């Protein structure tokens, strides 16, 4: 049985842990988009063509200090081509075949047709969160800014019960990176399957994606991204961002240093459901001490900042294999609504030096707003 935490020391330990979570050791993460419950449905636009979606043999649900499971590409995957994987050999991990794609969640505009509500168009879903503001040296300024972000994330699912259906739709109906889709989960556990319904003739308003692009913490260089998409149409711009996000996630999944760091953090069998029914190979050995490394805990602020907190680690099947990354200090971005205890600077002391990229982003937003207004005028 585990030890119950008691007393002043336990209180202080929780305080220290929370301060660490609010600090700067967290990497930006791309949240997971997944379906937890039977009959749960999500409207999505995939941002990667079907031919660009990678497939790996992965080690999912790797336990970490903060309790948020992580994923890595197994060493037995053809990318590495090794004969054995340490997570599987030492800690009884189960390796799964998983496909990865970036998608943005959509909100349908509904109308009543034959007594039933039917989508007649879509816009990008958004969420708002508060983000700490750091100066150019990475120090906490004591301020927070209210940020709005498009709901974009990684879909990490099995090719056997999820992406096979998505692939069939793409081949038989319409490209998944150009079409609004309603994906519904059917069943639970080993009996899970998915259905896909497409809305080929329905417009997708991507204005929110362009307008709130700076809220995507996972993007490395927002100025460079804005420069790259400044002359693209909204759908092309969103797809370009989707390719950047996917490539970054792939780089993390195959990172060998990250693999070793996560391996060093495991100290018990990962065979949680008794599927392998074999004795832990290190059961009679002294547990390896964890090497000193940055904490992998994640704060509530970080979770609220980019979406869902992670997949359901208790689910043995169904393909929800991926979990978001811990978040580091966010870089200071364009001005947003800020809350601070310090005095506001007088207006005559404010200095506004807009970078060329931010000017282009403003132009993109203006263009998106005009398209939205023109569309609204057409429907009147």
Domain ranges of the chain: 23-269+298-338+354-379
pLDDT of residue 318: 43
CA angle 357, 128, 355 (to 5 degrees): 10
- Whole-number Å distance between alpha carbons of 250 and 254: 6
pLDDT of residue 68: 86
Residue-wise pLDDT tens for the chain (380 aa)? 444 444 455 444 544 444 444 444 446 788 999 999 999 999 999 999 999 999 999 999 999 887 789 999 999 999 999 999 999 999 999 999 999 999 999 999 888 888 888 888 999 999 988 878 777 777 778 888 888 999 999 999 999 999 999 999 999 999 999 999 999 999 988 889 999 999 998 999 999 999 999 889 899 888 899 999 989 999 999 999 999 999 999 999 999 999 999 999 999 999 876 766 544 444 444 344 444 444 343 443 444 333 333 344 334 344 444 333 333 333 333 333 433 333 333 334 333 445 454 555 666 666 666 666 666 666 66
pLDDT of residue 185: 97
In this prediction the pTM is 0.70
SS (H, E, C) the chain: CCCCCCHHHHHHHHHHHHHHHCCCCCCCCCCECCCCCCCCEEEEEECCCHHHCCEEEEEEEECCCCCCCEEEECCCCCCCCCCCCHHHHHHCCCCEEEEEEEEEEEEEEEEEECCEEEEEEEEECEEEEEEEEECCCCCEEEEEEEEEEECEEEEEECCCCCHHHHHHHHHHCCCCCCCEEEEEEECCHHHCEEEEEEECCCCEECHHHHHCHHHCCCCCCHHHHHHHHCCCCHHHHHHHHHHHHHHHHHHHHCCHHHHHHHHHCCCCCCCCCCCCCCCCCCCCCCCCCCCCCCCCCCCHHHHHHHCCCCCCCCCCCCCCCCCCCCCCCCCCCCCCEEECCCCCCCHHHCCCCCCHHHHHHHHHHHHHHHHHHHHHHHHC
CA angle 183, 186, 189 (to 5 degrees): 120
- Whole-number Å distance between alpha carbons of 181 and 35: 14
Q: Angle between the 356-379 and 222-229 helix axes, to the nearest 10 degrees?
A: 50
């Amino acid at each position: 049985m585990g030890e119950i935490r008691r007393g002043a020391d336990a209180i202080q330990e929780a305080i220290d842990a929370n301060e660490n979570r609010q600090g700067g050791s967290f990497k930006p993460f791309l949240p997971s988009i997944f379906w937890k419950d039977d009959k749960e449905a999500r409207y999505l636009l995939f941002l990667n063509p079907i031919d660009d979606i990678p497939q790996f043999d992965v080690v999912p649900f790797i336990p970490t200090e903060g309790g948020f499971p992580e994923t890595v590409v197994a060493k037995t995957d053809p990318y590495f081509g090794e004969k054995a994987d340490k997570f599987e050999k030492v800690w009884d991990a189960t390796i799964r075949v998983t496909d990865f794609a970036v998608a943005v969640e959509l909100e349908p505009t509904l109308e009543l047709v034959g007594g039933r509500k039917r989508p007649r168009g879509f816009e990008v879903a958004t969420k708002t969160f508060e983000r700490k503001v750091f100066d150019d040296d990475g120090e906490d300024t004591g301020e927070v800014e209210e940020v709005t972000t498009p709901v974009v994330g990684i879909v990490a699912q099995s090719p056997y019960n999820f992406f096979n259906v998505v692939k069939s739709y793409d081949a038989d109906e319409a490209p998944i990176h150009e079409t609004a889709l309603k994906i519904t989960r059917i069943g639970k556990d080993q009996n899970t399957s998915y259905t896909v319904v497409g809305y080929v003739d329905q417009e997708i308003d991507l204005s929110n994606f362009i307008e709130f692009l700076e809220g995507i913490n996972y993007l490395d260089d927002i100025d460079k991204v804005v420069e790259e998409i400044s002359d693209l149409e909204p759908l092309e711009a969103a797809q370009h961002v989707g390719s950047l996000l996917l490539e970054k996630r792939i780089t993390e999944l195959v990172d060998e240093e990250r693999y070793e760091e996560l391996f060093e953090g495991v100290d018990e069998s990962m065979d949680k459901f008794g599927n392998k029914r074999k004795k832990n190979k290190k059961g009679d050995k002294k547990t390896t001490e964890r090497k000193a490394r940055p904490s992998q805990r994640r704060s509530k602020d970080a979770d609220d900042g980019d979406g869902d907190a992670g997949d359901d680690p208790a689910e043995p099947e169904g393909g929800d294999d991926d979990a978001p990354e811990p978040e580091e200090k966010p870089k200071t971005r364009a001005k947003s609504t800020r809350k601070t205890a310090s005095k506001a600077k007088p207006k005559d002391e404010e200095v506004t030096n807009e970078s060329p990229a931010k000017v282009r982003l403003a132009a993109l937003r203006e263009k998106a707003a005009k398209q939205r207004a023109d569309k609204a005028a057409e429907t009147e």
